[in-house]
């Protein structure tokens, strides 16, 4: 029986296209994937990625859970790989990091006060997080209480104001965001800055956010996983 639940918000009417690569990669590595939202209109980001995951986790029995954005992500390792990497960090809840301080760029200075490394991936990215199911229930319950309809805004508040046991994966040990891609930093399967092999690759952001050109996600998947 799986000890890790992979949650994937996928509010789409075209599941054969949207989320297909994540589904393929989870099948390849025998990960326990639960997609939700198919056939329903997209609610607020907070409802989609905080409220609904909380409701789901309260009714599950797995010890651990990981949320991954369905449309623009794939995984590159097994449950054993994911949990081993997560445990090595010592985190209770770990969240993905990115280069862009969004949705409140003015808070970049507050991140700088908490910075422990010179990583390019400095800011919270709500498209990937992992933790013990009980710890995630506690954190998500707190996030629900924050008066903000943006999921990344809620996570930013929790991380900056309380810490709340949240570790930012700024060394990309598990999660790798692709926003602001630079080929001197990343290649398929590897983070060249940190010497890590991330297990969740997230091609976040619009095409114009990639001054070097947005890499083809399926080609990177072929060369990574």
What is the pLDDT tens value at each position of the chain, 225 positions in all? 899 999 999 999 999 999 999 999 999 999 999 999 999 999 999 999 999 999 999 999 999 999 999 999 999 999 999 999 999 999 999 999 999 999 999 999 999 988 777 899 999 999 999 999 999 999 999 999 999 999 999 999 999 987 767 999 999 999 999 999 999 999 999 999 999 999 999 999 888 778 888 899 999 999 997
pTM: 0.96
Looking at beta carbons, which pairs linking 54-57 to residues 24 or more positions away fall under 8 Å? 54/137, 54/140, 54/141, 54/144, 56/7, 57/5, 57/7, 57/133, 57/136, 57/137, 57/140
Token look-up 């198919």 returns 38
DSSP state of 158: I
* DSSP-assigned beta bridge partners for residue 131: 65, 93
In the chain, the number of structural domains is 1
**Range of 188's domain?**
4-224
Kindly report the CATH number assigned to the domain that includes residue 176.
3.90.550
Contact 156, 105 (CB under 8 A): no
State how far the alpha carbon of 18 is from the alpha carbons of 60, 200, 220, in Å. Answer: 25, 17, 17
**Closest among 222, 220, 200 to 33, alpha carbons compared:** 200
Give the per-residue pLDDT at 165. 79
Q: What is the pLDDT of residue 148?
A: 97
């Amino acid at each position: 029986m799986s000890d890790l639940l992979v949650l994937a918000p996928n509010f789409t009417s075209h599941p054969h296209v949207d989320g297909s690569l994540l589904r393929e990669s989870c099948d390849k590595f025998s990960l326990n994937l639960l997609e939700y939202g198919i056939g329903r209109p997209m609610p607020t980001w907070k409802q989609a990625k905080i409220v609904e995951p909380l409701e789901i986790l309260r009714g599950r029995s797995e010890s651990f859970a990981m949320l991954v954005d369905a449309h623009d992500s794939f995984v590159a390792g097994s449950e054993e790989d994911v949990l081993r990497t997560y445990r090595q960090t010592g985190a209770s809840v770990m969240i993905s990091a990115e280069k862009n301080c969004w949705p409140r760029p003015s808070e970049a200075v507050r991140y700088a006060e908490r910075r422990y490394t010179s990583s390019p991936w400095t800011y919270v990215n709500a498209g990937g997080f992992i933790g013990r199911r009980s710890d995630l229930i506690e954190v998500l319950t707190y996030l629900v209480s924050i008066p903000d309809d943006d999921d990344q805004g809620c996570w930013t508040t929790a991380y900056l104001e309380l810490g709340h046991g949240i570790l930012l994966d700024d060394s990309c040990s598990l999660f790798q965001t692709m926003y602001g891609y630079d080929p001197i930093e990343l290649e398929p399967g590897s983070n060249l800055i940190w010497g890590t092999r991330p297990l969740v690759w997230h091609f976040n952001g619009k095409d114009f956010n990639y001054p070097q050109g947005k890499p083809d996600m399926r080609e990177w998947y072929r060369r990574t996983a």
